Amino acid sequence: MIYIHIPFCKQACHYCDFHFSTSMKYKDEMVESLLKEIDLRTQYLQDKTIHSVYFGGGTPSLLDSSEINRIMDRIAKHYAIESDAEITLEANPDDLTKDKVNQLKQTSINRFSIGIQSFFQEDLQWMNRAHNAQEARSSIMRVQDAGFENITCDLIYGFPLLSDLKWTTNMQSLVELAVPHISSYAMTVEKKTALDHLINNGKTPALDEQQSAHQMLMLIETLTAAGYEQYEISNFAKPDRLAKHNSNYWKGKQYLGIGPSAHSYNGHSRSWNIANNAQYLQCIQKNELPLETEKLTVNDRYNEYIMTSLRTKWGINLQTVAEEYGSDSLKELLKNIEPYLNNKEVVLEGDKIITLTDAGKLLADQIASALFIVD
């Protein structure tokens, strides 16, 4: 699978710490460099069959259809793209005009990830989102009217303006619009973001962990009752609508990341591109790869397996732990998991699979870190 990072946004959301620039000055050069990096890294993936391509960012919906086609053509030059491959475009609602959606029908994009976040205008203004409440709803309907059925939408919970009533309305809005996949995340405060600055200066209230936990449980209850399966802590899907791309991340599949700040993983090492547009462009123009690489130890790979698999419905497979990481790792895992079994925060299914309970999902990071093996 291949991830393409498009490092441009119209404006900066207050909570976001992803790599992007609000200047489009070098957009044309960036597209050319993305194409060149694809050429430079053709040997990275052992499997030359591509099951998914994900345009993320940033705001990939700022690309026009010809730019998307050029990138996909360059991928197809080096790889065999499956006929039913999932090709996802992250999009802001304000970009999805009727003309833009019609243009995108001339590309291989077959799945949209729409950053709704909230259907309430005051929430969107507080987040400094580029779209308004009307565009939040109309963008979904516009994509559906154009014949795109494979859609996921993002919602955020756990921030000061979000009452339980508003949260219920946000969730029910997506259910009523028949959106088949929903990704939902608790608001977090990342260092050096505008939200961090606002809280530190007393201009907005601090986040409430109890509110986040309560609204996460509301999320699970509401979407499960509406026929969605929670197959990963933050992701819910109707039958046959699980995200191929993200599911493969959580299953530890290899992937290639293209673009500034993009990460890649080949099973034995992890690499990441520099998070600086100017330096990225300079390096690629000189046929140099602007990346750092970390070789993963057995314990690194074990810890990553624990962290990702525990978040999913597939859970931690004890046989996989024994075969891939050794009997000592399995013994350590069974010892460390015991308190969470006793507290009913995890369950051991058929002595083979460890999964989180709803109570455990509130403590996922804490439980995973307690299971890590430290060199």
Determine the pLDDT at residue 190. 87
Could you read off the pLDDT of 107-149 as tens digits, one per residue? Answer: 999 999 999 999 999 999 999 999 999 999 999 999 999 999 9
In the predicted model, what is the mean pLDDT of residues 94-108?
96
What is the model's pLDDT at position 9?
83
Q: What is the pLDDT of residue 341?
A: 96
Residues of the chain with pLDDT > 90, as a percent, come to 86
pLDDT digits (tens, 9 = 90+) for 258-299: 999 999 999 889 999 999 999 999 999 999 999 999 999 999
Residue 333: pLDDT band by 50, 70, 90 thresholds? very high
pLDDT(24) > 90: no
Could you give all domains of the chain from N- to C-terminal order, each with its CATH number? Answer: 2-250 (3.80.30.20), 298-371 (1.10.10.920)
How far is it, in rounded angstroms, from Cα 244 to Cα 108?
A: 16
Average pLDDT, the chain: 94
**pLDDT tens, position by position, 291-326:** 999 999 999 999 999 999 999 999 999 999 999 999
